[in-house]
């Protein structure tokens, strides 16, 4: 089977992004399929600026080639980001039509929602089924986080969302909450599959990490580590405020990663004179597992309005990739995620967790409790990795794609 796979942000282990796209396409190629990925380059987010062929395991009969289209935007902020999305969409459609060759199936991974639009266009123009992977509910996530506020744009985005769902031959959702949102848009349950995120079992096994990177000197107290994006939706102010809470002066708070909120957070730390907060910068994905194992507590602040039913419902269905990394590390986790959420069910089943309210004080209380809780048992960690490994999830999605790509209306003995 030849699959045309659209993912604007496609990263390898040497980069700082999530690896779901890379891991799945590599696994499918090793299963004997031919994968052509259309990704972006030239954007501010730092994607690699060259085409490449992904190296497969010895003896693999398939292939995975990544073709990167140039994405440009002359603006910054909201307009700049939308410009990048539209630029990628247009160039991906052109490349797929003019240079994509023959393919049996189009897979588009959203968000951004415009990737789904590119997939729908290519599927229709080339007469091939299109599968939409919905990793996050957009525009709902943009509205809840305040990224999208214009009512006309919200209405347009919701119309486009419903159209893309209905146009797809099948939808693959990342969580139960995402699947519920898709069903609310009028999609039948039989047209939806849920392929959860996963932990990359072999990621970082050959990468040495010096735990001294997280400690200023040998006299430092426990390390509380956050690894991930520094964006408006990541609620990192709660970590900064927790660092200044009474009784946590000896805890070394480390924020690894970067984002549009990093400089503001640095200024806030400086203004408050917090000597126990350190910014570690962007990290390669293959270094993350080692860093997580070096920490005493892992931090996952989640900002949500306890009085808002819409916000609570949205947050209950969010299970970010970092949670899988955190659980695989086995360290205690301090979080403010709603206790009725999908993520909390994972945490309670496999992790050592301390919950706090969505505030600086709540995060401080969670950190104190997590230091007392201690790490998760080896049995729990092994069970988590076994049941939520990337290979298992990748094969689940591949089985769905193979079923969608089968010719319709033919008997089993048809040529």
Give per-residue pLDDT as tens, 2-57: 999 999 999 888 887 888 999 999 999 999 999 999 999 854 444 444 688 999 98
How many percent of the chain have pLDDT more than 70?
A: 90
Q: What is the pLDDT of residue 301?
A: 95
The CATH architecture one would assign to domain 211-384 is: 3-Layer(aba) Sandwich (3.40)
Task: Outline where DSSP puts E strands in 210-293.
Answer: 223-227, 252-256, 277-281
Query: Per 3-state DSSP, what percentage of the chain is helix, strand, and coil (rounded to 5)?
Result: 45, 15, 40
Q: Is-cis flag, bond preceding 111, omega within 30?
A: yes
Task: Outline where DSSP puts E strands in 146-268.
Answer: 170-173, 192-194, 223-227, 252-256
Whether the CB-CB separation of 261 and 228 falls below 8 Å is answered with: no
Domains of the chain by residue range: 2-198+389-405, 211-384
Task: Write down the pTM of the prediction.
Answer: 0.88
* Residue 307 confidence class, pLDDT cut points 50, 70, 90: low
Among the listed residues 266, 279, 326, the one whose alpha carbon sits nearest the alpha carbon of residue 302: 326
Q: What is the pLDDT of residue 75?
A: 57
Which residue is listed with tokens 């091939």?
Answer: 128
Residue 409 has pLDDT above 60, yes or no: no
Q: How far apart are CA 166 and CA 11, in angstroms?
A: 29
Helix axes 113-126, 77-98, angle to 10 degrees: 20
Domains 2-198+389-405 and 211-384 share a fold: yes
Q: How far apart are CA 31 and CA 3, in angstroms?
A: 13
When mean pLDDT is compared across 148-162, 277-291, 369-383, the lowest value belongs to 148-162
Whole-number average pLDDT of the chain: 88
Whether the CB-CB separation of 199 and 288 falls below 8 Å is answered with: no
Give per-residue pLDDT as tens, 341-390: 999 999 999 999 999 988 999 999 999 999 999 999 999 999 999 999 99
DSSP string, 340-394: TSHHHHHHHHHS-EEE--SSHHHHHHHHHHHHHH-PPPHHHHHHHHHHSBHHHHH
Q: How far apart are CA 363 and CA 245, in angstroms?
A: 10
Highest mean pLDDT, choosing among 151-165, 309-323, 392-406? 392-406
* Residue 190 confidence class, pLDDT cut points 50, 70, 90: confident
Which CATH superfamily, name and number, covers 2-198+389-405? Glycogen Phosphorylase B; (3.40.50.2000)
Q: How far apart are CA 251 and CA 96, in angstroms?
A: 52
Q: What is the pLDDT of residue 273?
A: 95
Give per-residue pLDDT as tens, 237-250: 999 999 999 999 99
Mean predicted confidence (pLDDT) in 86-91: 92
Q: Check residues 206 and 376 and name the one with the higher pLDDT.
A: 376
Q: What is the pLDDT of residue 74?
A: 59
């Amino acid at each position: 089977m030849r699959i045309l796979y659209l993912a604007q942000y496609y990263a390898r282990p040497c980069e700082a992004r999530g690896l779901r796209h890379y891991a799945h396409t590599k696994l499918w190629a090793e299963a004997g399929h031919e994968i052509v990925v259309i990704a972006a380059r030239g954007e501010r987010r730092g994607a690699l600026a060259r085409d490449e062929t992904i190296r497969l395991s010895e003896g693999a009969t398939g292939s995975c080639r990544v073709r990167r289209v140039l994405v440009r935007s002359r603006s910054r902020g909201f307009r700049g980001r939308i410009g990048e999305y539209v630029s990628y969409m247009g160039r991906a459609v052109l490349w797929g039509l003019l240079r994509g060759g023959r393919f049996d199936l189009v897979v588009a991974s959203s968000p951004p929602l415009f990737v789904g639009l590119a997939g729908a266009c290519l599927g229709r123009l080339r007469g091939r089924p299109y599968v939409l992977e919905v990793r996050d509910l957009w525009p709902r996530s943009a509205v809840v986080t305040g990224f999208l506020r214009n009512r006309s744009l919200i209405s347009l985005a919701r119309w486009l969302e419903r159209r893309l769902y209905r146009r797809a031959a099948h939808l693959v959702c990342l969580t139960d909450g995402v699947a519920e949102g898709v069903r609310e848009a009028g999609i039948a349950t039989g047209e939806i599959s849920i392929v959860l995120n996963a932990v990359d079992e072999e990621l970082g096994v050959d990468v040495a990490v010096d735990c001294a990177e997280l400690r200023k000197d040998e006299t430092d107290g426990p390390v509380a580590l956050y690894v991930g994006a520094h964006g408006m939706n990541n609620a990192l102010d709660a970590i900064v405020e927790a660092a200044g809470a009474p009784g946590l002066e000896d805890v070394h708070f480390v924020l690894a990663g970067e984002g549009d909120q990093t400089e503001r957070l640095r200024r806030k730390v400086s203004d408050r004179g917090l000597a126990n907060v350190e910014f570690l910068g962007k990290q390669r994905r293959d270094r993350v597992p080692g860093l997580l194992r070096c920490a005493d507590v892992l931090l996952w602040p989640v900002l949500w309005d306890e009085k808002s039913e819409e916000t609570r419902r949205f947050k209950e269905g969010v299970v970010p990739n970092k949670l899988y990394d955190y659980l695989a590390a086995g360290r205690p986790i301090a979080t403010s995620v709603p206790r009725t959420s999908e993520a909390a069910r994972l945490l309670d089943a496999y992790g050592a967790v301390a919950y706090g309210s969505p505030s600086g004080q709540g995060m401080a209380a969670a950190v104190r409790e997590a230091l007392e809780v201690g790490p998760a048992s080896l049995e729990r960690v092994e069970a988590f990795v076994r049941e939520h490994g990337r290979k298992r999830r990748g094969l689940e999605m591949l089985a769905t794609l193979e079923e969608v790509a089968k010719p319709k209306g033919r008997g089993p003995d048809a040529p």
